[in-house]
A and B are shown apart, each in its own frame.
Chain A
Amino acid sequence: MPSRRAPARAPATTARWTRNLGSMTASRVASMHDAIAELVRDGDTVAIEGFTHLISFAAGHEIIRQRRRDLTLARMTPDLIYDQMVAAGCARKLIFSWLGNPGVGGLGGIRRRTEGDGPDRLELEEYSHFGMVGRYTAGAANLPFYPLRSYFETDLPKANPLIREIRSPYGDGTVYAVPPLRPDVTIVHAQRADAAGNTQIWGLLGCQKEAAFAAERVIVVVEELVDEAVIRADPNRTVIPGLIVDAVVVEPFGAHPSYVQGAYDRDNRFYLDWDPITKDAAALDAWLDEWVHGLDGRAAYVEKLGAERLAALRPAPAPSGIVDYGRYS
């Protein structure tokens, strides 16, 4: 499963990459085990994006299971999945803009690694949301920086010297700049893709598109594998083209306990239950043993959760209207 992009990354400021275009219809379907084994390497910068919605817990768990080390984990909102990956020893650094268990509380696995001066202290590189979005956008567009009007008169540039004030070349004041973020691997969960990796998402889009285009390698994890004709019938819904996708993994309920619009709701009980677990290092380790190391993949996780719990998360239907693209032959 060679990367479709140049194997060696040019320096970010002069990035120039060529894509080794293969057949547009070749199957990229892989097992989660194989996708992670071949595309995620020790020391990589990994972005598992998804803003509350579509968070690939399944991929995070496989990374833990395969014991990747020294990862730089990028994500706007490091929440439970990064708490689990940090507690499991996968990470040396976090790049982020909001850190917590949304609506519930803190993340003990990460907190314990950010206190004190121990050798395994987690490095933090902190932005605002717009700054993170801008970093991925610059990475995707092959730009040396992204300009934005955030950060004036705040302490964020002091906390992170990579946030820098720059003068407009047109003489109309200053703005702040953030550097491009070019993950080695971006992992995106989505409703559906075809075998070539053409991926459709509806509901909150977060910054998955930007993070995918910015990355050297892309893994897409989907609820459902569909025919190419399904994609082509609604091209406006395609967020990520197969052109930049290295692997398509089919993993129903792969985003649990986060949600997939139209398929299942957030399992809020899980987020509440996480609070006492994350506060206790031994309880967190025991959870990882039981739910990650003790299982061989997502199918086993889904079976262990039980059909009843998952059925309760299914929303009532609210289908979109149908648009007519017209036939122009």
Chain B
Amino acid sequence: MTEAAFSKNEMMIVAAARELAGQRVCFVGVGLPNIAVNLAQRTVAPDIELVYESGVFGARPQRLPLSIGDPTIVTGATAVTSMHELFAFYLQGGLIDVGFLGAAQIDRYGNLNSTVIGAYDAPRTRLPGSGGACEIAINARQVFVIMRQSVRSFVERIDFRTSPGNLGGAEQSERIRREQGWLGRGPSVVVTDLALWRFDDTGEMRVESLHPGVTLDQVRETVGWEPKDAPPLSTTPPPTAEELRLIREELDPGGAYTS
């Protein structure tokens, strides 16, 4: 069977959605996570409970939400709560299995920046800021990250730590999380437009699979440190015709996320 042509962004969204197989409760971040979880709900995780920080548990969106506050996440949902209840009882109370985040910068330990590029007081680029990303990273049982990789986004040192990942490495991260009573174990997977990464025993991310047509050199050229890989590298299975149809016809017919 010849594979349908697909874009890098479509591959990224599909690979991220597949990671949600078997997960029960997912806290949905702004942007790319939003389309990935909506694809997962239509494919590998039909029973997944989508939680939106705007105050919705068990969303069943009938169209791709334009934002995480879209009215389609309300109609037909299991529960609508105040944001206080959502953050205090659902998130901090420990009910979230997966926090799904994007970011502008990530380091090798999965620490995330969505606040500022450059100095905080004299930014080169002012980003939107934490929103709920700070507390999602601390309180969700595990964190999935979806973002495009480039030397500007995969950096040796992030300019601002908005969301803690594995801090300076697994040993420090596990000690601090234990001492301070965090419920979250930290990041477990990073899905990009080129590859799928997981975290090793040292807390550093390493390439697990390359998306079809991508070389390890391409991955190295788009990362600001010397990345580890764990041979033998596998190839991410390409999107199926059904996954592509769902993205193109139902979720993002305008191509806002995928073009």
Q: A: which residues have CB within 8 A of B?
A: 51-53, 76-77, 96-100, 102-103, 106, 111, 114, 126-130, 133-134, 137, 148-156, 158-159, 172-174, 202-207, 209-210, 259, 261, 265-266, 268, 315, 318
Alpha-carbon gap, A149 to B136, bound state (A): 10
Alpha-carbon gap, A52 to B56, bound state (A): 13
Q: B: which residues have CB within 8 A of A?
A: 30-31, 53-56, 66-71, 74-76, 80-84, 87-88, 91-92, 115, 120, 123, 126, 128-135, 138-139, 160-164, 167, 176, 179-182, 256
Residue on B nearest A140 in the bound complex, by CB: B84
Cβ-neighbour of A128 out of B132, B180, B181 (below 8 A): B132
Residue on A nearest B112 in the bound complex, by CB: A154
Alpha-carbon gap, A261 to B75, bound state (A): 9
Distance of A101 from chain B, by nearest CB (Å): 9
Chain A residues touching B, majority SS: loop
Cβ-neighbour of A100 out of B66, B84, B128, B167 (below 8 A): B128
Contacts A149-B139, A266-B71; A206 near B83 (Cβ below 8 A): yes
Which residues of the other chain, A, contact B176 by a CB distance below 8 angstroms?
152-153
Contact status B182-A52, CB under 8 Å: no
Contact status A148-B92, CB under 8 Å: yes
Which residues of the other chain, A, contact B164 by a CB distance below 8 angstroms?
152-154
Contact status B115-A155, CB under 8 Å: yes
Cβ-neighbour of A156 out of B71, B134, B179 (below 8 A): B134
Contact status B84-A156, CB under 8 Å: no
Between A77, A128, A137, A206, the greatest number of chain B beta carbons within 10 A of the residue's beta carbon is seen for A128
Alpha-carbon gap, A150 to B135, bound state (A): 5
Contact status B131-A149, CB under 8 Å: no
Contact status A98-B128, CB under 8 Å: yes
Which residues of the other chain, B, contact A149 by a CB distance below 8 angstroms?
92, 135, 138-139, 181-182
Which residues of the other chain, B, contact A259 by a CB distance below 8 angstroms?
71
Contact status A51-B126, CB under 8 Å: no
In the complex, besides A130-B88, A156-B115, A266-B67, 10 extra interface pairs with C-beta distance below 8 angstroms are A98-B130, A98-B131, A129-B131, A130-B132, A150-B134, A150-B138, A154-B161, A159-B120, A210-B82, A259-B71
Contact status A203-B83, CB under 8 Å: no
Contact status A103-B67, CB under 8 Å: yes
Alpha-carbon gap, A268 to B135, bound state (A): 29
Alpha-carbon gap, A159 to B121, bound state (A): 8
Which residues of the other chain, B, contact A134 by a CB distance below 8 angstroms?
84
Alpha-carbon gap, A202 to B79, bound state (A): 11
Distance of B36 from chain A, by nearest CB (Å): 15
Alpha-carbon gap, A172 to B75, bound state (A): 41
Contact status A51-B132, CB under 8 Å: no
Residue on B nearest A98 in the bound complex, by CB: B131
Which residues of the other chain, A, contact B129 by a CB distance below 8 angstroms?
96-99, 126, 128
Which residues of the other chain, A, contact B182 by a CB distance below 8 angstroms?
149, 152
